């Protein structure tokens, strides 16, 4: 069996030890005679899986006791509606910081439920930087301030936690959650689709402060009411059981690697290796401002875009796949989440150097 280096933005690569353990347990989980896929979500076997998954996530992120951890469905796209319907709580407006495609999707959806104030935007600069905090025009009466901590498409990432005063800070962390330590207490709510750094598609993680539960929009479906989900320990309806199981294995793997401080060092090293090379060449271009460059998603372009197809074909032949950039921006994108080993980035840089030598 040959495993490729998978640079997909999501669904993304999973740690190989996790996949091997899941394969070994596929037909018989811990002597139960059942696959996790076949278990009742209310049976003692799956309850133990879900309980340990939540406990491990709490340990990794040091989640304070006054926050609920919810296992939900619908991805970040659904949370773009679910968050405002839960958190408006009598307020009329929401502040957004627009840093790219995923911010724009959140803004568009929120406009169905609230008055939206775009407090700052990176659009004028082509979404290549985070707007300086001093320039944000925040509404002190907003229900919350929403950011996207890492723009998967544009490769722009917050390397600071913005201070927004007493207004709750909400973050879509779909593409950089668990890549580094986070002070959860600085946020009112964090949400993340699982398919990048947590597990397979189908699971959504929500971490929400207790005082933000209750008084949702009257049209909010019960299955998406955070208080209802919390009161039922994420079992109000059938949760994505297998995705939770795989996420739990990923959380265990992360702990075995040394936790999030160790993952930060790992991710810094990978990103530095690629960005440092991009700084040495004019054959490739890295568009994002240096202080905002993502450790998770590295977009770059060939100076001569006519060579894109040949670059991608050669990369695939060398065992590196999913390097094509998002259709909205073109070029290339290397997604180097937690599961991408340093050897994968070394192989990519070596290939890029070789391709430049032969085509420059």
Q: Which residues are catalytic?
A: 102, 172, 196
CA dist 322 to 188, 331, 348, 357, Å? Answer: 34, 12, 12, 22
DSSP 3-state percent helix, strand, coil across the chain (nearest 5): 40, 15, 45
- Alpha helices (H) in 92-231, listed in sequence order: 101-110, 226-231
- Over the Cα atoms of the chain, what is R_g? 21
Q: Looking at the chain, how many residues does it have?
A: 360
Nearest CA among 184, 157, 181 for reference residue 102: 157
d(CA 112, CA 101): 18
Own/partner contacts of 63-66, CB < 8 Å, gap of 24 or more, are: 63/184, 63/207, 64/184, 64/185, 66/209, 66/210, 66/211
Do 284 and 334 touch, CB atoms closer than 8 A? no
Q: Can you name the residues that pair with 170 across neighbouring β-strands?
A: 146, 189
């Amino acid at each position: 069996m040959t495993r490729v280096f998978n640079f997909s933005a999501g669904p993304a690569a999973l740690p190989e030890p996790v996949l091997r353990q899941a394969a070994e347990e596929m037909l018989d989980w811990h002597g139960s005679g059942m696959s996790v896929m076949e278990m009742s979500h209310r049976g003692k076997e799956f309850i133990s899986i879900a309980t340990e998954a939540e406990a491990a996530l709490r340990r990794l992120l040091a989640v304070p006791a006054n926050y609920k951890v919810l296992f939900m469905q619908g991805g970040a796209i659904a949370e773009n509606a679910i968050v405002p319907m839960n958190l408006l709580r009598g307020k009329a407006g929401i502040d957004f910081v627009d840093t790219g495609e995923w911010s724009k999707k959140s803004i568009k959806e929120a406009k169905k439920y609230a008055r939206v104030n775009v407090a700052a935007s990176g659009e004028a600069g082509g979404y290549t930087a985070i707007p300086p905090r001093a320039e944000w025009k925040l509404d002190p009466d907003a229900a919350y301030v929403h950011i996207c901590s890492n723009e998967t498409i544009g490769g722009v990432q917050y390397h600071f936690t913005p201070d927004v005063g007493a207004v709750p800070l909400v973050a879509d962390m779909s593409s950089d959650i668990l890549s580094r330590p986070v002070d959860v207490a600085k946020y009112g709510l964090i949400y993340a689709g699982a398919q990048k750094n947590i597990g397979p598609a189908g699971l959504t993680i929500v971490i929400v402060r207790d005082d933000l539960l209750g008084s949702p929009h009257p049209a909010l479906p019960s299955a998406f009411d955070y208080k209802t989900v919390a009161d039922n320990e994420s079992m109000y309806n059938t949760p994505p059981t297998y995705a939770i199981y795989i996420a739990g294995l990923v959380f265990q793997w992360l702990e075995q690697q040394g936790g999030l401080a160790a993952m930060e060092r790992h991710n810094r090293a990978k990103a530095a290796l690629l960005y440092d090379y991009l700084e040495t060449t004019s054959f490739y271009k890295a568009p994002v401002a240096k202080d905002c460059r993502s450790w998770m998603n590295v977009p770059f372009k060939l100076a001569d875009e006519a060579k894109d197809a040949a670059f991608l074909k050669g990369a695939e032949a060398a065992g590196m796949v999913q390097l094509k950039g998002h259709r909205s921006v073109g070029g290339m994108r290397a997604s180097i989440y937690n599961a991408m080993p340093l050897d994968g980035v070394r192989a990519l840089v070596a290939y890029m150097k070789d391709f430049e030598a032969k085509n420059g």
